[in-house]
Structure 1
Amino acid sequence: MNKVPLEITILGLSITSSWGNGHATTFRGIVKELHRAGHRVTFLERDVPWYASNRDLVNPDFCKVILYQDLNELKNEYEDLVRSADMVIVGSYVPEGVPVGTWVCDEAEGVTAFYDIDTPVTLAKLQRNDYEYLSPELIPMYDLYLSFTGGPTLKLLEEQYGSPCARALYCSVEPALYYPERVEITDDLGYLGTYSDDRQPPLERLLFDAAKGWSEGKFVVAGPQYPDSIVWPANVRHIHHLPPAEHRKFYNSQRYTLNITRADMIRAGYSPSVRLFEAAACGVPIISDYWDGLESVFELGKEILISASGEETLAYLKDIDDVERQAIGERARQKILKKHTAAHRAQELIDYLYEVKGTLMNR
């Protein structure tokens, strides 16, 4: 990573609370690595009640966190932080994201970036004229569009929406937090994820149907916001919320883990989720639905298993011996350590910053 210390200001959904969102763990990993490399990061987070009552990282030692109440306070109190930074990043789903982003682009003297942790969802919202945190007019104002989705979406962002520079910045994992450990295997297959309408049908198809077809099997689902109307099979446990500190043990206590992808991300392709990287870093073999570009992350059949039905899921659970099961998990772990850690993402971020700076200087 570049040796010159940089000042980086991030306005993100949350870094203090992982409750019901995947943003906090993503920001924590990257910011830790930026700090380790000598860069100074300030994280500005809107103080909202649902995160205030569920904070699991109040005072991180790797960045300065500022909680602000509203847009007026942000503009009046923290203008200097935005103006003086070498880079200012605004994340997706930041409250009042359009006026926040417009203000940042107007005031910042360094590189400005939009970090879209929800790219396919964002693009679907734009097509519906839903400008909750980003608008078509704002995209060209950012110097850099950092996207959780790669592949053809990057070309779309540049050619259709006018981004000067769209680059993939996938989610990642911290190897110090996610690794294999000896714990009791309590479940044959587990799934970790917040409830969503579009993920529920594949969850029922890939996990519920498998559970119904194997009464001796043990299954677990962890995540909040599942409706009371869901009928859980008798051999499927539900854990209402699992804080990040317990994720590693959760993965390691499974023979296999299940990955399910949001519908918008399947349509876009090239959108690996953080759960993929976390489970793989633990050496737990993954059974996943398929989307375009998955083979650019893992080798299908060797590093990850693909299922489209409960029957296919059951075949993996019952027919693969322990030696091959563990080998699949280890091959995926090695791939993650080689390409998809938070340190890799932090370096990519700094590389993009200098790429954009070079472009701006040559205009």
Structure 2
Amino acid sequence: MKIAFYGSSLLSSYWNGAATYYRGLLRDLAGRGYDITFYEPDAFDRQKHRDIEPPEWARVVVYDANDTALRDVIARAADADVVVKASGVGVYDEELLEGVMRAARPDAIRIFWDVDAPATLAEIGMSPDHVLRRVLPQLDFVLTYGGGQPVIDAYTGFGARRCVPVYNALDSSTHHPVPREKRFASDLSFLGNRLPDREARVETFFLDAATRLPGRDFLIGGNGWESKAMPPNVRHLGHVYTRDHNAFNCSPLAVLNIARDSMASTGFSPATRVFEACGAGACLITDAWVGLEMFLKEGEEVLVARDGQDVADQLAALTPMRARAIGEAGRQRILAGHTYSIRGAEVDSLLRRQKAILRDGVAA
């Protein structure tokens, strides 16, 4: 089957945390025989900060962010057996959604793939005339990269025929243990862009912990933090390219995960960083969120904190030996149950069943 996938970027993780998710899932689906074309706009300087060049397992069409190019890529949806519009493309989101679903063939599978479901649901909940609410009943699936039953219930309540979470996972060929590097050495590291719905939680869990432990070294990576006031024991790196994520995760004593506001409140929404860090064998400390036990066991495979004091206490008590044990236990748990091979098999099964339903329905 041919998949036309309209997303933010496959080639760049610059201001684009979904890149790892896209790459892991689509590479696995390509290995299962899918013919994939990924459409991404030339926007937000992402093409200047590519992590990868176009891969052999997908065609990538980079289009200009203008009306003419938009019309061209929308028309190409008619060539696909599966048409996917992802959330958060960043430009022409509403036009793309309405356009590609209208251009899709009658026998094509139509999917909205939400990589930030809690935020999307909050947005459409406040806007009865939102394009997504109009389009939802026409779609075969809403797929999300997290959210559990609360997100399923919310989407079906808005008219979706079927909502299926396809959680983040690990691509072990990309994220794995590597030797430590001095430039990433610290006691606690955090990687994430500065976003309005994350900043307060970074202050609570990361910067407060650094203030409480002035003798320990803290490292923060990601875009937007250069203008943020921070304690003197915090070092800021700026954007960290995907090629450096393994070293970033392997070099500190521990790595911190901080969920965005909506994902923390909804639960069941582990970020890509969780799987990247665990895949590298990092000792992960995460903020608390409902559903964590689906992925990692507290105290054995991950450490959990409710606030900055908890983070400071966990870090102060952590020895290198215990950090290594937790990191390896977490890595084995993720390898056993949360890889993109497993997620790809789930999506493959959904698509093949739906294709059979559509084919039989058309024949009837």
TM-score normalised over the length of structure 1: 0.90
Select the residue among 151, 168, 173 that pairs with 2:170: 173
2:159 counterpart of 1:162: yes
Per-residue CA deviations over 1:260-303 (Å, capped at 9, x if unaligned) read 01111112111110000100111111111111111111112221
Which residue is 1:151 aligned to?
148
2:83 counterpart of 1:88: yes
Contact 2:189/2:220 (8 A) holds in 1: yes
2:38 counterpart of 1:40: no
Deviation at 1:340, TM superposition (A): 2.0
What is the alpha-carbon distance in structure 1 between the residues aligned to residue 95 and residue 23 of structure 2? 25
Per-residue CA deviations over 1:76-114 (Å, capped at 9, x if unaligned) read 4663x4223221111102332223222222232311111
Contact 2:118/2:147 (8 A) holds in 1: no
TM-score normalised over the length of structure 2: 0.90
Which residue is 1:112 aligned to?
110
Which residue is 1:3 aligned to?
none
What is the alpha-carbon distance in structure 2 between the residues aligned to residue 129 and residue 27 of structure 1? 28
SS of equivalent to 1:65? strand
State the one-letter code of the partner of 1:271. Answer: S
2:24 counterpart of 1:55: no
What is the alpha-carbon distance in structure 1 between the residues aligned to residue 247 and residue 44 of structure 2? 29
Q: What is the root-mean-square deviation in Å for CA atoms of aligned residues? A: 2.2
What is the alpha-carbon distance in structure 2 between the residues aligned to residue 155 and residue 219 of structure 1? 38
Which residue is 2:179 aligned to?
182
* 1:238-253 pair list within 5 angstroms: 238-253=236-251
SS of equivalent to 1:170? coil
* 1:138-287 pair list within 5 angstroms: 138-184=135-181, 186-226=185-225, 228=227, 230-287=228-285
Structure whose residues are more often helix by fraction: 2
Give unpaired runs (5+ residues) of structure 2: none
What is the alpha-carbon distance in structure 1 between the residues aligned to residue 47 and residue 187 of structure 2? 35
Q: 1:196 to 1:359 in 2, by over 3 A?
A: same
2:7 counterpart of 1:12: yes
Contact 1:281/1:336 (8 A) holds in 2: yes
What is the alpha-carbon distance in structure 2 between the residues aligned to residue 274 and residue 46 of structure 1? 22
What is the alpha-carbon distance in structure 1 between the residues aligned to residue 180 and residue 78 of structure 2? 49
* 1:339-350 pair list within 5 angstroms: 339-350=337-348
Which residue is 2:303 aligned to?
305
State how many pairs are aligned.
355
SS of equivalent to 1:298? coil
Post-superposition, which runs of at least 4 consecutive aligned residues in structure 1 deviate over 6 A? none
Contact 1:150/1:167 (8 A) holds in 2: no
SS of equivalent to 1:272? coil
Give unpaired runs (5+ residues) of structure 1: 1-5
Deviation at 1:72, TM superposition (A): 4.0
SS of equivalent to 2:132? coil
Moved more, 325-334 or 205-214: 205-214
2:103 counterpart of 1:100: no
Deviation at 1:201, TM superposition (A): 2.5
Deviation at 1:57, TM superposition (A): 2.6
Which residue is 1:26 aligned to?
21
